[in-house]
Structures are given as C-alpha cells and as structure tokens.
Amino acid sequence: MWFDPAAVRRVAGAAVRPQTVDWEALRRDRPGVPPVEPPGQWHPLWEAAVGAALARLLAVSAGTRVAVPDGLVADTFGRALDALLPPGPPVKTLALAGPSLPTVSTSIALVPQHPQTGEHWAPPVTADAVPLPWDVWAQLAFRHDRRSVPGAGTMPADARRDDPSPLTPFGLFRPDVAVFLSTLARLREVRQPWLRAIYDRVTGHPYAGPF
C-alpha cells in the first residue's frame, strides 16, 4: 500500500508492546498447521521447517544413527535420517519435548520455538535441542488422527462421524532441500569432514532421496 504524502500526515503515537503469550496459552489456543493440505500435498511450511531442523539434527547426531519415534515424526524425519546417516544400530535417540509433554530421557529433543519471541523450549539438560516452529511442533506433539468409525445404537450401520478424516498425502514426505542446505551451510559443524561430505553429496544431487 502507498500513501500520497500530500494526503496524510505523520502523528507520533505511544508504542504498544504486544503481550507475550505463554506456552500453556499456545497449547490451548494455537493447535498448529496440519501437515497435509488439500487435496493431498505436504504443506510447504512443514517442508521448510523440517528441512531446517534436519540440518541441525544431523549436526548434533555426530554422524551416528538416530532412533526416531513412530508416527508423524518418523514420516517426516525418519526416511531422511536413514538416507543421510551411515547404517548401523542407533546410538542416539530422538524425542519430542515441550509444554504439557512428560519428561523423557533422550539424546536429542525436538522442541517448540515461540512464534512471538523466537525463543525455544529448554529441554532436559542432557539433551541437545533442535527447535521447530510452534505450528509444526504442536501438530507433531498433540495431533491425533481421527479415524472414521461406524455409528452405533440407532444410527445406520454404515453411518460415519461428521468430522472428516485427516488428509492422506499423495507421496512420501520430502524436506525442502534449499532450506536444508542453507541451514547446514551456516552451522559450524559443517566443517567436520563427515557432515561436509553430506553437504557436498546433497548439493551435487539435490533431487535424490530423501529430497
């Protein structure tokens, strides 16, 4: 929008600081962005957020295998970690940590990043923190797929619930390769030979699996 200088005048006003929403209010009022959008594509916010987090996750993995929890975390991070890290038994573990979640013992914690302040949740002292935007983290932590179930009682046998089932993606999840590479390039750990080799491999073949 552009204002004609002859039609408006500038008036100084008192600066109003927006009130910072606490973590529990976010948990209650901001459920996040679903991972899949109509008609079945993975949401680009998720592709970018996971691309950035994947770079940081690799950096704290020290080049060792990482065990990933089942579910949406495995759908978005598991295939990429399998493709980029060397084979072998898991040495480190990945888990979600944040408000309203029980404290678990883990090597690497996916934690929420506050949408107003940019600060991230402090994980247990023994875990390396990998931040995710709140709108993505909240879905990973609290999303429960609603399965369509037959009606009961006086309802017809083939009746279904009114709320729609979660959207099913058309294909496997692919992190944003440009965000992944730009994030990895800014990390000091990329100077380590094993991680630089991953950076060079993905740069040379940016559309190979898992991207």
So what's the pLDDT on residue 114?
97
Contact 75, 173 (CB under 8 A): yes
Residue 55 structure tokens: 């770079």
The pLDDT of 123-132, averaged and rounded, is 90
For residue range 14-65, list pLDDT tens digits in order.
666 678 999 999 999 999 999 999 989 999 999 999 999 999 999 999 999 9
pTM: 0.83
Characterise 62 by phi-psi region: left (phi > 0), alpha (psi -120 to 50), beta (else): left
The 10s digit of each residue's pLDDT in 98-122 is: 999 998 899 999 999 999 999 999 9
Distance CA 15, CA 27 (A): 28
The first and second tokens of residue 74, run together, are 């495995």
Average pLDDT over residues 149-155: 45
Sign for the pseudo-dihedral over CA of 183, 121, 30, 80: positive
Mean residue pLDDT across the chain: 88
- pLDDT of res. 14: 64
CA-to-CA distance for 96 and 108, rounded, in angstroms? 9
pLDDT digits (tens, 9 = 90+) for 154-184: 445 454 455 566 678 989 999 999 999 999 9
Q: What pLDDT is stored for residue 10 in this prediction?
A: 77
Helix axes 177-185, 193-204, angle to 10 degrees: 150
Q: Where are the domains of the chain?
A: 47-143+174-189
